[in-house]
Structure 1
Amino acid sequence: MTTGERVARYEAALASARIAERPVAVCDLDAFDANADDLVRRASGVPVRIPSKSLRVRALLERALARPGFRGVLAYTLAEALWLCEGGIDDILVAYPTVDRDALARLARDERAREQIAIMVDETAQLDLVEDAVRAALPRGASIRTVLELDAAYAPLRRLRFGALRSPVADAPAAVALAREIARRPAQRLIGRMAYEGQIAGVGDGARGPYGLAVRTMQALSARELAERRAAVVAAVREVADLELVNAGGTGSVERSAGEEAVTEIAAGSGLLGPALFDGYRAFSPQPALWLGFPVVRRPGPGVATLLGGGWIVSGVPGRDRLPVIAHPAGFAYAPQEAAGEVQTPVLGPAADALRVGSTVWLRPAKAGESAEHAPVYRLVAGDRVVDEAPTYRGEGRFFL
């Protein structure tokens, strides 16, 4: 299906449902479900855990979790995990360390939450803070489920590093030392290990020329090194504690991570929505499932149309790849001196002359989850109809970061 055909279907569905609001966020459930099937196929039987930050819409989390092949959520804050747990979602791993003492005390007091939520640690200072925060609230004999994060970056030379700056734990001796420290603390219980290989999962490998070749070479070398190191760490830590889970991956590295014997589950969620950053991958092509419609409110001159809003810019190293992609009509570019603005976004191109005040220009987000911080609801389209609306976290009045 072409972009024009997709957009025509969304516009007809919105018009039929008498939804005139703009900006509007549309989630294509047919594309979402197809992407879910493809993630499961790529994982080859290894369960897929959904990073909640890639969706930030409970209805979409629940839709994916109801499908075979998906199991559990990778949350981004403990407060969010507690909220999801209260809403009935099980098996939640918080992907980042927490220093939220109030949330830790709530976790300690809630028996169901203690059974369903695990927190992330990677150094002793975090263990000390957790222990202090839960001391008064944790029942005798109870413990907080804890997961240890391994640094997954590739550092072939002393001053050459590829990957996110995350955990200080990079090898088996460091992992074992922290595992033993956890074992000495009755308030905490080590149940898993996680590593996120962002230099593979989050970097497109489809570019041509020397840059693309360099990326593919780095990723191949990194994957080989990490598989060996991850296996060694898991084997060593299992001598200290029984591990229920070994989490790995990301949407861009599902096949590679699923092929490692030590890995028990894959983290992948952005691929459900197919944002523009995944247009540059060779091994898979998710369908674009999230579309953002912005209204034309000005016509400053020939070849120019100005949108209300449009600056839903995503996090990361600032650059053009953090901007939404102008998807339809074709042939537009951002104004060099303005790009995508919070309140207005001029778009340039011959197609502007066919637009009128009130027309809609459709954008695709660069990343999957951050549009939910702007839109209160996603309009859910299946076939040629709007079948429902789903509030985002913000639409439910929730703000976790």
Structure 2
Amino acid sequence: MTVQLWSSIGAIGAPTAVLDLDAADHNVAEMRRRASGTPIRVASKSIRVRGLIDRMLREPGYAGVLAYSAAEALWLARSGVDDVLIAYPTVDVETVKQVAADSELAARITFMADLPEHVRLLDSAGSAHPLRVCLDVDASLPVGKALIGAHRSSVHGPGQAAEFARATARLNGVRLVGLMFYDAQVAGVQDTNAAVRLLKRRSVAELAERREQLWRAVASYASIEVVNAGGTGSLHLVGGSPVTEFAAGSGLFAPTLFDRYDGADLRPAAYFASPVVRKPRSDVAVTFSGGYAASGASGASRAPRPVHPEGLRYFAQEGAGEVQTPLRGAAARELAVGDAVWFRHAKAGEMCERFDEILLVRGGSVVDRLPTYRGEGHNFG
């Protein structure tokens, strides 16, 4: 990163979110390159800035939004996004009813399901136009009696998928239009050693075969328009029939958990800067706030990483704190009260839950300020 970025925002009094547009533009192009012509649906969970989502949707190769909340999907559809797939099932009855009552919204929004309870809830909305449904398929890798991957869907094999499709076809208020396969054990795991790489290769091969079988099993009962697969870390690995689209978003920001992926040329783009407010010792600098730990299994990898000035590190007994973050190291000697320390978050969109706006920087200058979801007054969970 150039010196220009570190000097781009001047004096600050509180933590400030920053996006390096040059790096972000590179990442948008890099994800498109690895997708090899398959459209990428923008994963809003990994961005949470409506202006940046709109910006990506204007780019070639990007189409539609993968939302993480039904209420969020409704808001985005009302804001002009014409194709929103909700990545997770919902029990938000009020939002479902609002979508069901509006034919335009019902055409723009697709709900996720993998249990009979999910489709019964959607069906009970009593829509005059069937609500669109996508079946979330468990994409984890079977290894013996275990499954390696995220605990998501109850549907794993073609028989289960066919039964789901058959039961859904009997209902008048819903219409099965899609299949989703999120390979967390591939897209969400860094390439840290040979064992991980082997597991990924096995998973990609197994899932490619099973995806085809599931698609054929479901096609007997439904007209499938969407087959969604992959994530930022697996765009170049999981394409081919019957996949119609990928989903990705974290690659825009390239947080620290995406630093070690084979075949992906992503550049760190999102940061937050926090001012030094204390110097209890010459080799210790304390910044205001900064304890923005990422979700997932707790550990050092989930903490923000101080990146400028180089060489700063946490105290083991304190770490990144709720209202102050002590940092030590030789670089702390050069910091004065009021100087900024720059951090990278471990995840992408989660950072934006902490800020009302994000500054867009190009060539060392702030060129725009965009409100986050929080800055627009929304908290979707």
User: Which interval holds the TM-score relative to the shorter structure?
Assistant: over 0.9
Q: State the one-letter code of the partner of 1:91.
A: D
Query: Counterpart in 1 of 2:130?
Result: 143
The separation in 2 between residues aligned to 1:11 and 1:121, in whole angstroms, is 45
Query: Counterpart in 2 of 1:343?
Result: 323
The correspondence for 2:156, drawn from 155, 166, 170, is 170
Query: Which SS does the other structure have where 2:160 is aligned?
Result: helix
**Runs of at least 5 residues in structure 2 that lack an aligned partner in the other structure:** none
Query: Counterpart in 2 of 1:192?
Result: 178
The Cα offsets for residues 290-326 of structure 1, whole Å up to 9 and x where unpaired, read as 0110111111113111110111111000011101111
Q: Is the Cα contact below 8 Å between 1:279 and 1:285 reproduced in 2?
A: no
1:126-141 correspondence runs (5 A): 126-132=118-124, 134-135=125-126, 138-139=127-128
The separation in 1 between residues aligned to 2:313 and 2:344, in whole angstroms, is 14
The correspondence for 2:4, drawn from 9, 13, 18, is 9
Q: State the one-letter code of the partner of 1:256.
A: L
Query: What is the root-mean-square deviation of aligned Cα atoms in Å?
Result: 1.1
The Cα offsets for residues 310-365 of structure 1, whole Å up to 9 and x where unpaired, read as 11111000011101111111111110001111111111101111101111100001
Q: Is the Cα contact below 8 Å between 1:293 and 1:362 reproduced in 2?
A: yes
Residue 21 of structure 1 and its aligned partner are, at CA, apart by 4.1
Query: Counterpart in 2 of 1:243?
Result: 224
Residue 148 of structure 1 and its aligned partner are, at CA, apart by 0.5
Q: State the one-letter code of the partner of 2:53.
A: L
The correspondence for 2:21, drawn from 26, 29, 36, is 29
Query: Counterpart in 1 of 2:86?
Result: 94
Query: Which SS does the other structure have where 2:322 is aligned?
Result: coil
The answer to whether 1:71 aligns with 2:63 is: yes
1:161-310 correspondence runs (5 A): 161-205=147-191, 207=192, 212-258=193-239, 260-310=240-290
The separation in 2 between residues aligned to 1:73 and 1:287, in whole angstroms, is 23
Q: State the one-letter code of the partner of 2:229.
A: A
Query: Counterpart in 2 of 1:320?
Result: 300
The separation in 1 between residues aligned to 2:294 and 2:104, in whole angstroms, is 35
Q: State the one-letter code of the partner of 1:239.
A: S
The separation in 2 between residues aligned to 1:74 and 1:45, in whole angstroms, is 18
Q: Is the Cα contact below 8 Å between 2:44 and 2:65 reproduced in 1?
A: yes
The answer to whether 1:153 aligns with 2:134 is: no
Q: State the one-letter code of the partner of 2:8.
A: A
Query: Which SS does the other structure have where 1:371 is aligned?
Result: helix
TM-score, normalised with respect to structure 1 = 0.93
Residue 11 of structure 1 and its aligned partner are, at CA, apart by 4.0
1:99-110 correspondence runs (5 A): 99-110=91-102
Q: State the one-letter code of the partner of 2:187.
A: A
TM-score, normalised with respect to structure 2 = 0.98
Query: Which SS does the other structure have where 1:330 is aligned?
Result: coil
Q: Is the Cα contact below 8 Å between 1:154 and 1:162 reproduced in 2?
A: yes
Query: Which SS does the other structure have where 2:42 is aligned?
Result: strand
Query: Which SS does the other structure have where 2:9 is aligned?
Result: helix
The correspondence for 1:329, drawn from 289, 302, 309, is 309
Residue 10 of structure 1 and its aligned partner are, at CA, apart by 2.5
Aligned identity (percent) is: 45
Query: Counterpart in 1 of 2:37?
Result: 45
The separation in 2 between residues aligned to 1:362 and 1:91, in whole angstroms, is 36
Q: Is the Cα contact below 8 Å between 1:12 and 1:384 reproduced in 2?
A: yes
The Cα offsets for residues 10-67 of structure 1, whole Å up to 9 and x where unpaired, read as 343323xxx6343111111111111111111100000000110000000000000000
Query: Which SS does the other structure have where 2:295 is aligned?
Result: coil
The Cα offsets for residues 164-203 of structure 1, whole Å up to 9 and x where unpaired, read as 0000100100001000111100100011100100000000
The Cα offsets for residues 251-291 of structure 1, whole Å up to 9 and x where unpaired, read as 00001112x22111001110011111111212113111101
**Runs of at least 5 residues in structure 1 that lack an aligned partner in the other structure:** none
Paired residues in the alignment total 381
Q: State the one-letter code of the partner of 1:188.
A: V
Q: Is the Cα contact below 8 Å between 2:123 and 2:172 reproduced in 1?
A: no
Query: Which SS does the other structure have where 2:117 is aligned?
Result: helix
Query: Which SS does the other structure have where 1:170 is aligned?
Result: coil
The separation in 1 between residues aligned to 2:371 and 2:140, in whole angstroms, is 36
The separation in 2 between residues aligned to 1:11 and 1:42, in whole angstroms, is 30
Which moves more between the two structures, 122-131 or 40-49?
A: 122-131
Residue 100 of structure 1 and its aligned partner are, at CA, apart by 0.3
Q: Is the Cα contact below 8 Å between 2:5 and 2:363 reproduced in 1?
A: no
The separation in 1 between residues aligned to 2:346 and 2:314, in whole angstroms, is 15
The separation in 1 between residues aligned to 2:235 and 2:362, in whole angstroms, is 27
The separation in 2 between residues aligned to 1:284 and 1:9, in whole angstroms, is 25
Which moves more between the two structures, 187-196 or 20-29?
A: 20-29
Where has structure 1 moved over 4 Å in runs of 4 or more? none
Q: State the one-letter code of the partner of 2:220.
A: E
The separation in 1 between residues aligned to 2:376 and 2:130, in whole angstroms, is 31
